Chains A and B, each alone.
Chain A
């Protein structure tokens, strides 16, 4: 693991977070720009392992929440994390010792570098998803049974809201309402927890993994093979995107993507069910990978991740799938973010069993 995150690491981190976004998690561009600027302004960000923190050190999991359309227009205020930090100090009597990304996949994996730099805090080499998920309760702390008893939100104008919800469902409902009142954009800390509580309740090593994923394709002769190797992924198909059926229902995008094989894969067809993320891959009526395992569509040439909203007919793509963190394969993990949590009537089977 590297000790600090410098501006040189930001592009690799952004590429890696896009890969771990499995099609969702939002744009990495604004987060990357904010991270770069914050490092230049406040210095490089130490990256720490969980076992380097004292047992009672407070860890601050942060994520930006809101509507993707709004996030392209409403850029975060630099001081949003400062207000959350101050509130935590007021409540807990001590400041947090490290920032953690709540969601390594997509923009929320990159922006925490900016937030940590602004606070002068290290970034914990961990996150709460190991990928991207669309709903705030789909986090490892919830699966680990840690009560969601405090949520602190800070918005662009400086409002700070502390919620003490009775359970995760109320947490989600009230946080959404606050977010809307704040113009559909806010920074959120939920599950403020100690390093001790983090053990077994967060997914470790994901920041350095994202950077390694981003670096794997740097100067590689065969970027795709390098990426596949780094991820330990199964190549589901290499081919051409031939159909894209996308519809918006109830505020969520749903769709089916068809990829027809080319080269060695000629004659094969893969169907990909997408919502905000890539969720289920089907070939000849047989499921070959499903959520919470990771499924990412990459450009076959450059091996860069393509978000669901960037999918277009005719793209030459490869679909990679690889295992999720074991935490998601527990009964509680699958109940929270398994195929049924996304409306697919499927019994979960691990990708390494069904993909090859």
Chain B
């Protein structure tokens, strides 16, 4: 490490690819923002990423001081929505003779299934809720399936019934796949999602389908960094507001989906210094509202649908409303998007937008032109409508607590009024327009685990199982890039299960820590 620059001068770059803009920031060793840039997101994503990276590096005296790059990107989401660059996946469920009434991929849109499925099978295996096997794993059937479809598959997804409680069979299958097919990518459901077989299986298959996309984006980022002479470590932002090292992201690309809102929440917490708050991120076409609890995003309890596929991994609990800086007044919810710089009245364009309305209402000064008088009445009405939309959304996400501040971030944050019903105050931190990129740059690395723990006979056994779960979550955080010495358990929830013969809880553990030095 001797060629590395002095620690005090080390810099890191955070990049967040959003629907409208790609933002980049540079932070120094004290986490102060030293440079920011905002560029339009390009259709291929990568071009906009390079542009934002170049713009922010151009502000530095010595770009070689950059040692780390953290990227939050929509590559994976776009690939699924557009059915593009997805790998072909052999889908193996362990559960026979159970589960046959709903085979794998039953609820997938036909076009996505055609693109992704290399073959599906259900073989004997899986577990009951109490850990007993449904059947011993049918290793011969696994091998037969691999022999049939292995050559057509880019990856294999494996989902066993109750594997979040009993993972041994999935691990055994992974070994068989390695022995039979060499180093083909394998996605195991107990590492991806929580209870709910169909949803976890779906997330696992999507994960397997995204390996190629993950490889492409990693390569594109690495090329961009190499061609600029940067020797850096790279990390990817995931949907809970934490980071994973690039080799970890390569194994769990599905976890990058939804990282944008999580980044903006974390960035808002950091820039404002407030850890419990409502965050409103106003973009070009929409405003995302979320809630910070102890500095982390509050998570959604509902199932998440991606490209028509229902999954169950945890995402920030985000309420999106169709209101952004580019929203066209009188043609809501349509937006001029990234064309705001030539469409909006304040830029001399022909289209009245919410940005014009905010300027006319005296909420900020933007652009090169004044707002023509003939628009003033309609713009005033638009601001009043927008304020109502925001107040209603704030009330919905606040869960009845009106004592928390609202942190206004994002490129369109000037739309938000100085006082909002349901919030104790409105905080506008410096660099709020790039909060999401800041969030990526300051994030911790984390690991999470979900399992079922019987709580009936003897408190000791339960305590030991919870301890084991904590250790496993911490190990996963370290695998994601966290410093082993400073990993902490940041979340531990026990949810009692109803209707079961033996008392049991669903245990969720999350560990997080700063990246290792």
Contact = CB atoms under 8 A, between A and B. Distances in A.
Contact of A77 (B98, B107, B130, B496): B98
B95 A243 contact: no
Nearest to B301: A312
Nearest to A157: B97
26 contacts: A29-B107, A29-B198, A34-B101, A34-B102, A37-B102, A37-B106, A66-B499, A67-B129, A67-B500, A70-B129, A70-B500, A73-B129, A74-B98, A75-B98, A75-B161, A76-B99, A77-B101, A78-B100, A78-B101, A79-B97, A157-B135, A158-B97, A183-B130, A183-B134, A184-B128, A184-B500
A74 B102 contact: no
Interface stretch (B374-382, B395-403, B459-467): B395-403
Interface string A179-195: 01001100000000000
The 7 closest A-B pairs by CB, nearest first: A156-B98, A183-B128, A67-B499, A314-B396, A78-B100, A180-B501, A75-B99
A75 B162 CA distance: 11
B97 A33 contact: no
Chain A interface size band reads 35 or more
A73 to B, nearest CB: 5
A242 interface: yes
Contacts of B500: 67, 69-70, 184, 251
Contact of A248 (B107, B162, B496): B496
A313 B422 CA distance: 14
Given A157-B98, A157-B134, A157-B135, A75 B498 contact: no
Indicate the member of A66, A252, A313 with the most B CB atoms within 10 Å.
A313
Interface in A57-113: 66-70, 72-79
A89 B98 CA distance: 23
Contacts of B310: 29
Contacts of A295: none
B369 interface: no
B497 interface: yes
A30 B198 CA distance: 8
A147 to B, nearest CB: 27
A67 B134 contact: no
A30 B497 contact: no
Contacts, number: 114
B99 A77 contact: yes
Contact of B128 (A72, A74, A252, A314): A74
A184 B498 CA distance: 11
Contacts of A33: 102, 106-107, 198
B399 A314 contact: yes
B195 interface: yes
Contact of B497 (A38, A67, A74, A183): A67
A113 to B, nearest CB: 11
Nearest to B201: A75
B101 A184 contact: no
Nearest to A36: B106
B498 A38 contact: no
Contacts of A72: 195-197
A77 B97 CA distance: 6
B421 interface: no
B103 interface: yes
A36 B135 CA distance: 27
A183 B396 CA distance: 39
Given A69-B498, A243-B400, A74 B197 contact: yes
Nearest to B503: A251
B234 to A, nearest CB: 36
A114 B101 contact: yes
B363 interface: no
Contacts of A252: 498
Contacts of A184: 128-129, 499-501
A253 interface: yes
A154 to B, nearest CB: 11
B132 interface: yes
B134 A156 contact: yes
Given A158-B97, A248-B496, A75 B197 contact: yes
A243 B400 CA distance: 8
Nearest to B398: A314
A256 to B, nearest CB: 15
B506 interface: yes
Nearest to B103: A37
Contacts of B100: 75, 77-79
A229 B317 CA distance: 34
B399 A73 contact: no
Q: Taking each of A75, A114, A253, which has the highest tally of chain B beta carbons within 10 Å of its own beta carbon?
A: A75
A154 B196 CA distance: 22
